[in-house]
Amino acid sequence: MSLTYSEMIRGQLLTATPTSYYSAPLNSSASIQAVTANNPTGSAVIVDLYKVPSGSAADASTKIASRTVPAGTTVTLFDALNHKLQSGTALFAAGNGCGLNVSGVEYIPE
């Protein structure tokens, strides 16, 4: 098995609706190591992150982190750290106007 460090989501501008931004590669798995959200808007925004298995939806049962990001700041979503994603599991996020960065490790069988 090899490890690949990955920028799973790089500077993605979020919308108000949960949207898929990353899926764990086929026949592999991944681990979230860092998650930051920045808010360039003029008011606080709630950022939600979801770990959604294939065939499921981004809803209350798949939410792994939620954080209010004050205007003009960057925060870490600590609740998402070290979550594991099986093959096909997707990361969805919502947070109208905020930027999102997620990095981690992909475990790829040889």
Which residues, 6+ apart, have CB-to-CB distance to 18 below 8 Å? 48, 50, 58, 92, 93, 94
In the predicted structure, residue 30 carries a pLDDT above the cut 90 = yes
Q: What is the pTM of this model?
A: 0.95
Tokens matching residue 38: 């920045």
pLDDT tens digits, 37-51: 999 999 999 999 999
Residue 27 and residue 87: Cα distance in Å, rounded? Answer: 6
Fold exhibited by the domain 2-108: Jelly Rolls (2.60.120)
Domains of the chain by residue range: 2-108
| Percent of the chain residues past pLDDT 90, beyond the cut | 95
